[in-house]
Structure 1
């Protein structure tokens, strides 16, 4: 395990068994973030606490699978965003994974940095918007993969995204009604 300290910087937890790749992610992110690097799933869980803002997690980790780590993390009451960065093409199971982003390796420095930045922005949004972005990410990942059985998962994800989008649109409609009423009162 490796931890780099940066005062008041967002904390990124990288859980990746390929030490060279994990260290590369750390080097890419260190200028702007506090980066914790764990080379095993158990170490990732040990470093995972309330101060973590974003988790970058590999799916294939020898001691605990990335899915096990992800599910264990999701049971804790921590307000963070989780991205799976993996060489595994997504399949049907993606619909049920508690991750906010799914990125297929290989990844570039720009992709890693953009993923972290986007997840940080999402963390500031309300629950419906966060959920909508996570669902949209999963839809895109499944559409780009050739996974068998993903049609049913895509249908389910699209239905969920549509329902959440309708709730979001209703809230904006309510805001429009409020704005109209307020402008009428001002006249």
Structure 2
């Protein structure tokens, strides 16, 4: 179902790691697991197609792992699955999707499928979808009046508008799949 892909699961709780493994075993070609931030850095290389990353990890927090991976040029899409409710500090994190635990099989498998499809898209589309996801998460978890006074959120919103305008100007160069994903992301942000 998820094709010839390599997924890295980074989760310090053994029972959750086992549950995620059970959810996706047999659906991917290679499954790697890490139980702390240090091990995540060791197991994350250019062969990894998608990362499922917890935010609170021993040794190194998930956002630190993500930052180090991005600095090393590792650009695999990242699904944050965490017990930490999203705060306005997520604006600078390089994740592509964000879920608060618990996550069910269908949601995780669908998110992995979306990330694998997204990985084949143009960089500017991936960036737009990532920014749109952050906007959506923040809008669904914080009151609008709080976001209006938050400078980093306003910068994110400005970036979203600019990326949307750029994509509209270059619409002819986008694949049908990319156009569909952009429209879907715009609708989610507007509905939040």
User: Which bin holds the TM-score, normalised by the shorter protein?
Assistant: 0.7 to 0.9
Instruction: Name the CA distance, whole Å, in 2 between partners of 1:174 and 1:141.
Output: 28
- Give the aligned partner of residue 146 of structure 1: 142
Instruction: Name the CA distance, whole Å, in 2 between partners of 1:156 and 1:77.
Output: 24
- Aligned positions, number: 168
TM-score (norm: length of structure 2)? 0.81
Structure 2: where are the runs of 5+ without partners? 175-192
Please list the CA deviations of residues 66-123 of structure 1 after superposition, one character each: whole Å capped at 9, or x if unmatched. Answer: 1111111111122411111111111121110111111111111111111111011111
1:92–1:149 contact (8 Å) kept in structure 2: no
TM-score (norm: length of structure 1)? 0.83
Please list the CA deviations of residues 167-187 of structure 1 after superposition, one character each: whole Å capped at 9, or x if unmatched. Answer: 111012688xxxxxxxxxxxx
- Give the aligned partner of residue 104 of structure 1: 100
DSSP-derived class of the 1:115 partner: helix
DSSP-derived class of the 2:81 partner: strand
Q: Residue 32 of structure 1: CA displacement?
A: 1.2
Report the aligned-residue RMSD.
Answer: 1.9
Within 5 A, what are the aligned runs for 1:19-168?
Answer: 19-33=14-28, 34-146=30-142, 150-151=147-148, 152=150, 153-168=152-167
Bigger-Rg structure (1/2):
1
Distance verdict in 2 for CA 1:54–1:173, change over 3 Å: closer
Instruction: Name the CA distance, whole Å, in 2 between partners of 1:78 and 1:94.
Output: 19
